[in-house]
Protein backbone atom coordinates (compact mmCIF):
# COMPACT_ATOMS: atom_id res chain seq x y z
CA UNK A 1 0.00 0.00 0.00
CA UNK A 2 1.21 3.46 -0.87
CA UNK A 3 0.40 6.30 1.49
CA UNK A 4 1.10 9.85 0.36
CA UNK A 5 1.10 12.90 2.59
CA UNK A 6 0.94 16.18 0.70
CA UNK A 7 1.79 19.12 2.91
CA UNK A 8 -0.58 21.90 1.85
CA UNK A 9 -0.24 24.69 4.39
CA UNK A 10 2.83 25.75 6.33
CA UNK A 11 2.53 28.12 9.30
CA UNK A 12 5.03 29.40 11.85
CA UNK A 13 4.12 26.54 14.20
CA UNK A 14 2.34 23.86 12.17
CA UNK A 15 2.17 21.88 8.94
CA UNK A 16 -1.24 20.93 7.60
CA UNK A 17 -1.60 18.25 4.95
CA UNK A 18 -3.76 15.61 3.34
CA UNK A 19 -3.14 11.88 3.51
CA UNK A 20 -3.96 9.61 0.57
CA UNK A 21 -4.03 5.80 0.51
CA UNK A 22 -3.37 4.29 -2.92
CA UNK A 23 -4.40 7.60 -4.52
CA UNK A 24 -7.63 8.05 -2.54
CA UNK A 25 -8.08 10.82 0.04
CA UNK A 26 -8.15 9.36 3.54
CA UNK A 27 -7.85 12.22 6.04
CA UNK A 28 -6.10 15.45 6.98
CA UNK A 29 -2.81 15.60 8.86
CA UNK A 30 -1.12 17.89 11.34
CA UNK A 31 2.58 18.09 12.14
CA UNK A 32 4.94 20.56 13.77
CA UNK A 33 6.53 23.29 11.64
CA UNK A 34 8.26 22.29 8.39
CA UNK A 35 11.78 23.70 8.11
CA UNK A 36 14.27 24.23 5.30
CA UNK A 37 16.77 21.54 6.27
CA UNK A 38 19.55 23.28 4.29
CA UNK A 39 19.19 26.46 6.38
CA UNK A 40 17.64 25.48 9.70
CA UNK A 41 18.24 22.94 12.43
CA UNK A 42 15.76 20.59 14.03
CA UNK A 43 14.14 21.79 17.23
CA UNK A 44 13.12 18.81 19.37
CA UNK A 45 9.34 18.43 19.41
CA UNK A 46 8.76 21.45 17.18
CA UNK A 47 10.01 20.28 13.77
CA UNK A 48 8.28 18.13 11.13
CA UNK A 49 10.15 15.24 9.55
CA UNK A 50 11.97 15.79 6.24
CA UNK A 51 10.17 15.07 2.98
CA UNK A 52 10.96 11.61 1.67
CA UNK A 53 9.64 8.07 1.36
CA UNK A 54 9.55 5.87 4.45
CA UNK A 55 8.59 2.28 5.18
CA UNK A 56 5.66 2.05 7.59
CA UNK A 57 6.19 -0.72 10.14
CA UNK A 58 4.13 -2.17 12.95
CA UNK A 59 5.91 -1.68 16.29
CA UNK A 60 4.92 -1.61 19.93
CA UNK A 61 4.56 1.93 21.28
CA UNK A 62 5.48 2.46 24.93
CA UNK A 63 3.50 5.73 24.86
CA UNK A 64 0.25 4.12 23.66
CA UNK A 65 1.02 0.64 25.05
CA UNK A 66 -0.11 -1.05 21.84
CA UNK A 67 1.15 -1.77 18.31
CA UNK A 68 1.31 1.41 16.21
CA UNK A 69 2.43 2.43 12.70
CA UNK A 70 6.03 3.67 12.82
CA UNK A 71 8.05 5.31 10.06
CA UNK A 72 11.40 3.60 9.53
CA UNK A 73 14.74 5.35 9.06
CA UNK A 74 13.60 8.98 9.28
CA UNK A 75 16.71 11.20 9.20
CA UNK A 76 17.26 13.20 12.41
CA UNK A 77 14.30 11.46 14.17
CA UNK A 78 13.50 8.33 16.16
CA UNK A 79 10.11 6.88 17.02
CA UNK A 80 8.00 8.73 14.45
CA UNK A 81 4.44 7.39 14.37
CA UNK A 82 1.12 8.07 12.72
CA UNK A 83 -1.35 8.61 15.58
CA UNK A 84 -4.32 10.49 17.01
CA UNK A 85 -4.22 14.05 18.28
CA UNK A 86 -5.91 17.38 17.81
CA UNK A 87 -3.23 20.07 18.12
CA UNK A 88 0.52 20.45 17.52
CA UNK A 89 1.02 20.18 21.28
CA UNK A 90 -0.14 16.54 20.94
CA UNK A 91 2.93 15.56 18.89
CA UNK A 92 6.69 15.61 19.32
CA UNK A 93 7.31 15.28 15.57
CA UNK A 94 4.84 12.51 14.71
CA UNK A 95 2.06 12.84 12.14
CA UNK A 96 -1.43 13.35 13.57
CA UNK A 97 -4.48 12.28 11.56
CA UNK A 98 -8.01 13.66 11.63
CA UNK A 99 -10.35 16.11 9.94
CA UNK A 100 -9.37 19.73 9.59
CA UNK A 101 -12.18 21.68 11.18
CA UNK A 102 -10.42 24.56 12.87
CA UNK A 103 -9.67 27.40 10.46
CA UNK A 104 -8.23 29.97 12.86
CA UNK A 105 -5.91 27.55 14.66
CA UNK A 106 -4.02 24.53 13.39
CA UNK A 107 -6.09 21.68 14.71
CA UNK A 108 -7.88 18.45 13.84
CA UNK A 109 -11.12 16.86 14.95
CA UNK A 110 -12.41 13.29 14.48
CA UNK A 111 -8.88 12.04 15.06
CA UNK A 112 -9.89 8.64 16.44
CA UNK A 113 -12.25 7.99 13.51
CA UNK A 114 -9.54 8.94 10.99
CA UNK A 115 -6.99 6.75 12.76
CA UNK A 116 -9.49 3.87 12.77
CA UNK A 117 -9.85 4.10 8.98
CA UNK A 118 -6.07 4.27 8.54
CA UNK A 119 -5.51 1.40 11.00
CA UNK A 120 -7.97 -0.86 9.13
CA UNK A 121 -6.15 -0.24 5.83
CA UNK A 122 -2.76 -0.85 7.41
CA UNK A 123 -3.91 -4.06 9.11
CA UNK A 124 -5.20 -5.42 5.80
CA UNK A 125 -1.96 -4.56 4.00
CA UNK A 126 0.21 -6.11 6.71
CA UNK A 127 -2.06 -9.19 6.84
CA UNK A 128 -1.47 -9.82 3.15
CA UNK A 129 2.26 -9.14 3.46
CA UNK A 130 2.12 -6.07 1.22
CA UNK A 131 4.80 -3.46 1.92
CA UNK A 132 3.50 -0.13 3.19
CA UNK A 133 5.27 3.13 2.37
CA UNK A 134 4.59 6.77 3.13
CA UNK A 135 5.79 9.45 0.74
CA UNK A 136 5.90 12.93 2.30
CA UNK A 137 5.93 15.85 -0.15
CA UNK A 138 5.20 19.55 -0.27
CA UNK A 139 2.30 20.73 -2.41
CA UNK A 140 3.54 21.31 -5.96
CA UNK A 141 6.76 19.27 -5.57
CA UNK A 142 5.69 16.01 -7.13
CA UNK A 143 3.10 14.25 -9.25
CA UNK A 144 -0.38 14.13 -7.79
CA UNK A 145 -1.83 10.65 -8.11
Render pLDDT for 130-141 as a digit per residue (tens, 0 to 9): 999 999 999 865
| In-domain check, residue 6 | yes
Give the domain range for residue 100. Answer: 2-53+82-138
In a domain, 10, yes or no: yes
> How much of the chain is helix, strand and coil, in % rounded to 5?
15, 45, 40
Given a cut of 90, whether residue 106 has pLDDT beyond it is no
| Residue 127 belongs to a domain | yes
Residue 145 confidence (pLDDT): 37
pLDDT digits (tens, 9 = 90+) for 8-54: 999 999 999 999 999 999 999 999 999 998 899 999 889 999 999 99
| Number of folded domains that form the chain | 1
Kindly state whether residue 12 falls inside one of the protein's structural domains: yes
pTM summary value: 0.91
Amino acid sequence: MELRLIRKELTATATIGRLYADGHYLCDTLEPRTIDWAREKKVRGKTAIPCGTYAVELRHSPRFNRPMPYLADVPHFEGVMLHTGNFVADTQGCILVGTRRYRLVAGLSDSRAAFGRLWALLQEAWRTGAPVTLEVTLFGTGPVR
